[in-house]
Structure 1
Amino acid sequence: MSYYRIFRGFFRTIFSLVFRWQVIGRDHIPKEGPVILCANHISLWDPPLLGSGIERQVFFMAKEELFRIPVISFLITKFGAFPVKRGAGDRAAIRSTLKLLEDGKIFGIFPEGTRSKTGEIGEGMTGVAMFALKSQAEVIPVAIIGPYRPFRPVTIVYGKPIDLTALRQAKSSSDTLKEATDLIMAEIKKLYDEHRSKQSV
C-alpha cells in the first residue's frame, strides 16, 4: 500500500469521527484523464479534505518553506505536494503542474491563494485560469463548507465540470484569463451557497 493511501485513510478516519464529514458529488470526478479541482480555502485541513473525498490521487502545490522542515516535507511530499515560490511566477512549479495534467493526473488548487478569514469566498487569482486554459483538463468546482470544529459537520461538494470550450478557443489575453477565473469562482460560490443553506437546516 502506498504512503498516499495510508495518509488518506488516516485523514478519512479523522474527518469521519471528529468532523462528521459529508462528501457530495464524487461521481462528477472522471475515472481517468486530467482534472483540476478548484476549491475555496478556509483551513489548513482543506488539502487533505480535498484529496480524501475521492479515490484518485490529488497533487498540490505547497509553499516552498514547508519543504525545509524535514518531517513536514516528507509527509506533504508523500501526500502529493510539490514546492512553489509564493509571490512570484515560479516557472518550475508551472511546468510541473502542466506536466501533471499532460500525464492525466488530478491537480488540486485553491484559486483565492490564501485562506479566507471570514469563511466567505473571495476573488480568485488568474493562475487557475492559466492552468485550465493551457490544458485539456476537466475543471471541477469544489465547495468546502465548515467550520472545522469537533463534532460539527464539514461538507465537501464536487460539482459538475465547467464548460470552458469557448474561452479555450478565444485569443489568449488578460481579459480571457480574468473571465475564466470569474467563471470558476462563480461556480464554486454557487455550490457553496446552495449546500451551506442545506447544512444549516
Structure 2
Amino acid sequence: MSRLYRVGKFLCRSYLRLFYRVEIIGKENIPNDGGVLLCSNHIHLMDPPLVGSFIKRQVCFMAKAELFEVPILKIIIPKLGAFPIRRGMSDRQALRTGLNLLKEGKMIGIFPEGTRSKTKELGEGLAGVGFFALRSDANVVPCGIIGTYRIFSKLTIVYGEPIDMVSLRQERASAEMATKKIMEGIQKILTENQKV
C-alpha cells in the first residue's frame, strides 16, 4: 500500500466520520490475503472512498475511463491503484488488468451495475463481474451500502460472507450466471439490513 493511498484513506475516513454516522458491519468477512473481488451496489460518487476507507487492505477500483482524462485526477487515480474501463463496450484491456491484479493476490473493487442507481434500488449487473469471478480463484465478497449521503445522516456499509463460486467454475457457467449470483448476494445484504 503506497503512502499516498494511506494518506488518502485517512483523509477520506476522517471526512466520512465527521459528516456522517458511519457504521461498518462484516469487516471480518474480507480475507486478509489472496485475490478478492469486492462487489458493491452504487448510489453515490462517494461510494469508492466509503467502501475502501474502513478496511485494512488496499482496494484497486475499476473506474470509468472518463475520470482518467480529468487533469488532476488522471495523475492521482492511477497512483491509488485504480484502472480504467470503457463503458458500453467490451474493454479487453480492463479485463486483462483486473484478472492480473486478482492473480497477483490483490483486491479489486467493482460496482457491477456500471453506474450509479438513481432510484437507490439495485439494478442489473454487467457480465464483466461474472467474468472476473469465473476466470480467477479470487474470493467474491458482496458489499451493500445503505442510507443516504445527506450531511449527518446514517450510512451503513455491510461486507457479506464470500460467495461460493466453486460449482459455477466447475460447471464452466456463463459470466451472466455468475453475475446473477453475485447480484443476488448484494441484494440479500440490502434486504436484510434495510432497517439497520
Pairing of 1:67-82 with structure 2 (within 5 A): 67-82=68-83
**Conservation of the 8 A alpha-carbon contact between 1:53 and 1:156:** no
AA aligned opposite 1:188: I
Corresponding residue of 2:126: 125
Distance in 2 of aligned mates of 1:160 and 1:34:
15
Which runs of 5 or more structure 1 residues have no equivalent in the other structure? none
AA aligned opposite 1:189: Q
AA aligned opposite 2:6: R
Fraction of identical pairs, as percent: 51
Q: Report the alpha carbon displacement of residue 19 of structure 1 after superposing the two structures with TM.
A: 1.2
Distance in 1 of aligned mates of 2:76 and 2:36:
23
Pairing of 1:10-21 with structure 2 (within 5 A): 10-21=11-22
Q: Which of 182, 187, 190 is the equivalent residue of 2:188? A: 190
Q: Report the alpha carbon displacement of residue 17 of structure 1 after superposing the two structures with TM.
A: 0.9
Corresponding residue of 1:108: 109
Distance in 1 of aligned mates of 2:81 and 2:193:
28
Corresponding residue of 1:59: 60
Q: Deviations over 1:120-143 (max 9, x none)?
A: 111111110000000000000000
Q: TM-score, normalization: structure 1? A: 0.93
AA aligned opposite 2:95: I
Pairing of 1:102-181 with structure 2 (within 5 A): 102-172=103-173, 176-181=174-179
**Conservation of the 8 A alpha-carbon contact between 1:19 and 1:151:** yes
Q: Deviations over 1:27-78 (max 9, x none)?
A: 1111100000000000110111111121100001222221122211223223
AA aligned opposite 1:87: G
Paired residues in the alignment total 195
Q: Report the alpha carbon displacement of residue 180 of structure 1 after superposing the two structures with TM.
A: 1.4
CA RMSD of aligned residues (A): 1.2
Distance in 2 of aligned mates of 1:171 and 1:83:
27
**Conservation of the 8 A alpha-carbon contact between 1:139 and 1:162:** yes
Which runs of 5 or more structure 2 residues have no equivalent in the other structure? none
AA aligned opposite 1:100: L
